[in-house]
Structure 1
């Protein structure tokens, strides 16, 4: 076998090994490359991109600000329920964090809405009202698992959108909101899991 053939073989082997190394993290997380690269969906209001004093404002940016506002409209009442109805310190602590975190985020979202001329909702949507109704109907020991699972599921689903906005936005006000929202949502995920009431086997089964 010639030296050139050996060298060619080594190069091909190196390329194959590099490709395998790049794909391995994706495979370890149970996703295909295409699934890992797919972006979370958002509601396009059809307004396109507009210029503001804080930088370009896209449909994705506007949808994110609205969703932060919407989150507070149901998660603050949910947190107050946990404060009042929680039978363990961990559930009451989760309630405290939800109220404090979404009070702050709601203020930031409202300020962003005013500065960027984004109309914001003033009441929870149909799904969120349904979740609040489920918590209202849960009695005694049934409250904690309903509360923890509904809130943990909602926070988990919004995580991908926060990351996308933080990565892509060129608007400084939206970027600051995304940065703070990321920290608050991670805190809420943590305290909800600390209640011991989150069933990971059924978390996204419905």
Structure 2
């Protein structure tokens, strides 16, 4: 992908992403080995379709498509890592998610430096679930301020 990119900024972003991916792959394989989890050795059908789409382009169109698809993939992975970190009881997986998130975040930032990442190239935001039900009458309230007051700087 790096050699096919038309612009130097895209070549740099793709090269740096590849370097980070190599390190992230090492971490992934270490954790999978410790957990005895087999890893796929082929791209998923969606990844294959993205690769076909990218290789069918040239010049600026190649750059735009490659960056858009890679950024979308990184965004989806970042969300998955957050979900794993927030919900797993496995300490090894929590540690892996904590180690992987900075890699993926840096990759997203690097791809964004190309100027090809725009609102229409990003995935839709996740659906927001309903708020939790109110506490039953007479139950103890938390001494912590409401999250909304923290987010609004204590004004709400």
TM-score normalized with structure 2 length: 0.73
Residues 1:89 and 1:202: Cα distance change in structure 2 (over 3 Å): closer
Deviation at 1:120, TM superposition (A): 1.1
For residues 18 and 4 of structure 2, what CA distance do their matches in structure 1 show?
14
For residues 17 and 39 of structure 2, what CA distance do their matches in structure 1 show?
20
Q: Is the 8 A contact 1:90 1:191 kept in 2?
A: no
For residues 90 and 179 of structure 1, what CA distance do their matches in structure 2 show?
28
| 2:58 paired with 1:145 | no
Q: Provide the residue aligned with 2:143 in structure 1.
A: none
Deviations 1:9-35 (CA, angstroms, capped at 9, x unpaired) = xxxxxxxxxxxxxxxxxxxxxxxxxxx
> Which is helix-richer, 1 or 2?
1
Q: How does 1:74-89 map to 2 (within 5 A)?
A: 81=1, 83-89=2-8
Higher RCO (CA 8 Å, separation ≥ 6 residues): 2
TM-score normalized with structure 1 length: 0.56
Q: How does 1:26-45 map to 2 (within 5 A)?
A: none
Q: Which residue of 8, 33, 41 corresponds with 1:114?
A: 33
- Number of residue pairs matched by the alignment: 124
Deviations 1:81-123 (CA, angstroms, capped at 9, x unpaired) = 1x21222222112112211111111111111111111111111
For residues 161 and 104 of structure 1, what CA distance do their matches in structure 2 show?
18
For residues 47 and 109 of structure 2, what CA distance do their matches in structure 1 show?
21
Q: Give ranges in structure 1 of 5+ residues lacking alignment.
A: 1-80
Specify the SS of the correspondent of 2:38.
coil
Q: Is the 8 A contact 1:113 1:119 kept in 2?
A: yes
Q: Which residue of 15, 23, 38 corresponds with 1:96?
A: 15
For residues 121 and 25 of structure 2, what CA distance do their matches in structure 1 show?
30
Q: Give ranges in structure 2 of 5+ residues lacking alignment.
A: 125-156
Q: Is the 8 A contact 2:68 2:117 kept in 1?
A: yes
| 2:107 paired with 1:188 | yes
For residues 93 and 54 of structure 2, what CA distance do their matches in structure 1 show?
32
Q: Provide the residue aligned with 2:55 in structure 1.
A: 136
